[in-house]
Amino acid sequence: MFELKYHTPFSWTEAVMADFDTFLQDHAAAEKKASGMAMSMLSHYPDRRKLVKAMTDLALEEMIHFKQVLKLLIDRDVNLGNDQKDPYVKKIRAVFRNGRDEFFMDRLLVGAVIEARGHERFSLVAQALPDGKEKEFYAAIAKSEEKHKNLFVELAYEYFDKNEVDIRLEEILIAEAEICKNIPFTAALH
Ligand SMILES: [Fe+2]
Ligand SMILES: [Fe+2]
């Protein structure tokens, strides 16, 4: 559907594998925030039926992801971490334009790009992990985040002109690549 403009090198997984417990804590927080973001979307646009339905399903699915990551943490005898500020999400939110329609389109497209980054990085984690339940989980979650990426773009096409969406998506992809490549690698999703 679309390609990210910065490709995370496989060496990123070294930081993740060096402290996998911390990575799992960060991942759990990211899933919880993704669910909250979906609920915030449906609360802001109650008259957009297709969006409300899609965001209801998404909020539930992201909470299931959270529950699955929580299970991995508990199996490793690690507690849930404190929420940390996600510099990537904070920076990417700065691209949001004012205006009801512009803001709505940007929220959808930023959602798509964040999901795409999740898909990319969870795929890398799946590749880096040794055979076992954690590897299987990351392969499955990568596929799920790819579906979410497509969902957000489909929703944008539903509510806006395709050409306008494609132009704005290109701009957001360029901004996201610039943000992402400047964040040092740590045991975190972003
Ligand atoms: Fe998720
Ligand atoms: Fe997702």
pLDDT digits 0-9 by tens, 40-84: 999 999 999 999 999 999 999 999 999 999 999 999 999 999 988
Region 99-110 average pLDDT: 97
Confidence of residue 85 (pLDDT cuts 50, 70, 90): confident
Region 101-123 average pLDDT: 98
Identify how many contiguous H helices and E strands the chain contains and give both numbers: 7, 0
Query: Could you read off the pLDDT of 179-190 as tens digits, one per residue?
Result: 999 999 999 999
What's the CA-to-centroid distance between 99 and ligand 1, angstroms? 29
The pLDDT assigned to 16 comes to: 98
Query: Could you read off the pLDDT of 148-172 as tens digits, one per residue?
Result: 999 999 999 999 999 999 999 999 9
Mean pLDDT of the chain: 97
Buried b or exposed e, range 1-20, using 16+ CB within 10 angstroms: ebebbbebeeebbeebeeeb
Domains of the chain, CATH where assigned:
10-181 (1.20.1260.10)
What share of the chain has pLDDT > 70, as a percent?
100
What's the CA-to-centroid distance between 134 and ligand 1, angstroms? 15
Nearest alpha carbon to residue 138 among 120, 151, 126, 146? 126
Ligand closest to CA 58: 2
Ligand closest to CA 145: 2
The pLDDT assigned to 84 comes to: 85
Environment of ion ligand 2 (residues, CB < 5 A): 115, 145, 148
